[in-house]
Amino acid sequence: RRRTNPLPPGPKGLPLLGNLNDVPSEKPWLTFAKWGELYGDISSVTILGQTIVVLNSVRVAVDMLDKKGAIYSERPVFPMCGELVGWQNALVFLQYGDRFKSFRKTFHNLIGTNAVMKKYCPAEELETKRFLRRVLATPELLAEHIRKSTGAIVLRISHGYEIEEENDPLIRLADEAMEHFSACSTAGAFLVDVIPALKYIPEWMPGAGFKRMAREYAHTLSQMVDQPFQFVKQQVAAGTALTSFTSSALEAGNLSPKETFDLKWQAASLYSGGADTTVSAIHALFLALSLHPEIAERAQAEIEAVVGHDRLPTFADREHLPYINALQKEVLRWNSVAPTGVPHRTRQDDIHEGFFIPKGSLIVPNIWKMTHDAATYKSPMQFNPDRFIGSQAEPDPRDICFGFGRRICPGILLADASLWIACAVSIAVLDIAPGVDEAGNILKADVDPVTGHEQTSGTVSHPKPFPCKITARSERAVELIMEDD
């Protein structure tokens, strides 16, 4: 088959090394998007014998990853991230099979339907209010407050854990572990991923820095998995556990060692999947509002008209706030949280649109390109919620930015709820303006010449730090935030 069907086109590589130098570690999605223009929606490169197929349109991503899910739902085995650091036990890097299916089912039962999500609404509203209190007290620590509140919501669900106000040890561990995950889960980020035999070289050898790094990362990850679990075990034994995913399973009793192991990793998968991603989206909300005061004003006017000044918005207001809903979608479209998704891997050879896709190929959906495609989104670099309003509304980015097929993000509804409530309540009570220096001059955020805003590289991408001035909108707004829980 290979003889008659070519691999998808792509940049010409070097003999033996292939395209080792063609995939940049900085913002690879921009390079991938150029390949889309040069070679079409399906392009490929080969690095030391490993085929990497890049998908640059929603159409091909759905046709391959979704409609041919039986072939395209495996995950790569990254020696660095999966084996040496240990992420192979978390859902995100689980190999396709029974354990994968059982993890997915658990996630679905816990956070996969609108009906179950209703029970988390009060916690979402409460944690968002606490977030605003922290922001008003120390607005310069915005990034830290976002991490704390998103971590608090997921930890409540996964482990029934109430975070400490200062230096919470579990939030710190998760931050560290997710930073490591982002650095080591990108295709081709470490040479050991392309030459797996390198994992056997001893740590002391020159060039084995990645092994020392992996040891350190593995230690953080195992603490992130174990510490919250031990916390729940103690609380259950003392009869003081708050109801959570982990406590309910432990209280049901009689878990085998394998079931206990799975429970620990399911809870950690939940926590690790949810802690860092939603952070990026909420941070992007603040960046967008600080860059576009006119949009913030329009959103505030809608909340004033629908909710008034006597209470904070709640999920019950959602269907009456079309502009806030459009703004939330635009945040997810404009700032790609996972610009190149998480790579899938093929379980067998395939021929797609005449191209040969060998078994074991890594498939990278260029989500950034799909949500910034001028053929779908007019002036795609511009932040413009209006694109989602009216009869000519552009496609909902939530159908793209959470990935595709059987590996689609299982946390969509939770992410959607956390971002929505953060949008509605922050806009209701805060004025978010560009940062100013001591003389009152407006400070400009760093701007990427292509995209119009700066974001970090890595599997989970974040807006780079930006100047922003946050104040309470009114005395009444402060009272609402400070009201008893």
Binding positions for heme:
409
CA 211: distance to chain centroid? 26
- What residues form DSSP beta bridges with 44? 53
Which of 212/261 has CB closer to ligand HEM? 261
As measured in angstroms, the least distance from the Cβ of 446 to ligand HEM is 22
The Cα–Cα gap between 465 and 143 comes to 8
- What residues form DSSP beta bridges with 45? 52
**Residues 330 and 61 sit within 8 Å (Cβ to Cβ):** no
162: CB partners within 8 A, 6+ apart: 152, 156, 242
Which of 43/280 has CB closer to ligand HEM? 280
**Residues 420 and 318 sit within 8 Å (Cβ to Cβ):** yes
Q: Which two tokens stand for residue 63?
A: 């046709």
As measured in angstroms, the least distance from the Cβ of 267 to ligand HEM is 11
Binding mask 254-273 for ligand HEM (x = CB under 6 A): ---------------xx--x
CA nearest neighbour of 479 among 309, 296, 315:
309
The Cα–Cα gap between 57 and 54 comes to 10
**Residues 134 and 143 sit within 8 Å (Cβ to Cβ):** no
Which listed residue (28, 339, 341, 463) binds ligand HEM by CB under 6 A? 341
As measured in angstroms, the least distance from the Cβ of 333 to ligand HEM is 11
Give the Å distances, CA to CA, from 446 to 56, 287, 291, 443: 27, 11, 11, 10
The Cα–Cα gap between 13 and 443 comes to 43
Proportion of the chain in helix, strand, coil states, percent, rounded to 5? 55, 10, 35
As measured in angstroms, the least distance from the Cβ of 410 to ligand HEM is 5
Which of 324/415 has CB closer to ligand HEM? 415
Length of the chain: 485
Which of 23/401 has CB closer to ligand HEM? 401
Q: Which of residues 195-224 bind ligand HEM (CB under 6 A)?
A: none
Binding mask 74-103 for ligand HEM (x = CB under 6 A): -----------------xx-----------
**Residues 120 and 417 sit within 8 Å (Cβ to Cβ):** yes
Binding mask 271-290 for ligand HEM (x = CB under 6 A): --xx--xx--x---------
Which of 91/481 has CB closer to ligand HEM? 91
Binding mask 372-411 for ligand HEM (x = CB under 6 A): -----------------------------xxxx--xxxxx
Which of 105/444 has CB closer to ligand HEM? 105
As measured in angstroms, the least distance from the Cβ of 279 to ligand HEM is 9
The angle formed by the CA atoms of residues 83, 88 and 92, to the nearest 5 degrees, is: 145
Looking at residue 74, the DSSP 8-state letter turns out to be B
The piece of 38-46, 195-203, 338-346, 386-394 that touches ligand HEM (CB under 6 A) is: 338-346
As measured in angstroms, the least distance from the Cβ of 143 to ligand HEM is 16
Binding mask 135-174 for ligand HEM (x = CB under 6 A): -------------------x--------------------
Which of 92/421 has CB closer to ligand HEM? 92
The angle formed by the CA atoms of residues 341, 116 and 248, to the nearest 5 degrees, is: 95
Which of 180/344 has CB closer to ligand HEM? 344
The Cα–Cα gap between 183 and 178 comes to 8
Q: Which two tokens stand for residue 474?
A: 């009114």
How many residues make contact with ligand HEM (CB under 6 A)? 26
Q: Which residues are annotated as a binding site?
A: 409
Asked if 328 is part of the footprint of ligand HEM (rule: CB under 6 A), the reply reads no
Q: Which of residues 410-429 bind ligand HEM (CB under 6 A)?
A: 410-411, 414-415
Which of 18/112 has CB closer to ligand HEM? 112
Give residue 485's identity as a one-letter amino acid code.
D
The piece of 336-344, 354-362, 423-431, 434-442 that touches ligand HEM (CB under 6 A) is: 336-344
Binding mask 96-135 for ligand HEM (x = CB under 6 A): ----------------------------------------
Q: Which of residues 8-67 bind ligand HEM (CB under 6 A)?
A: none
The Cα–Cα gap between 94 and 76 comes to 9
Which of 35/402 has CB closer to ligand HEM? 402
The Cα–Cα gap between 24 and 16 comes to 19
Q: Which of residues 342-361 bind ligand HEM (CB under 6 A)?
A: 342, 344
310: CB partners within 8 A, 6+ apart: none
Axis crossing angle, helix 209-238 with helix 245-252, rounded to the nearest 10? 60
The Cα–Cα gap between 439 and 362 comes to 52
Task: List interacting residues with ligand HEM (CB under 6 A).
Answer: 91-92, 154, 269-270, 273-274, 277-278, 281, 337-338, 341-342, 344, 401-404, 407-411, 414-415
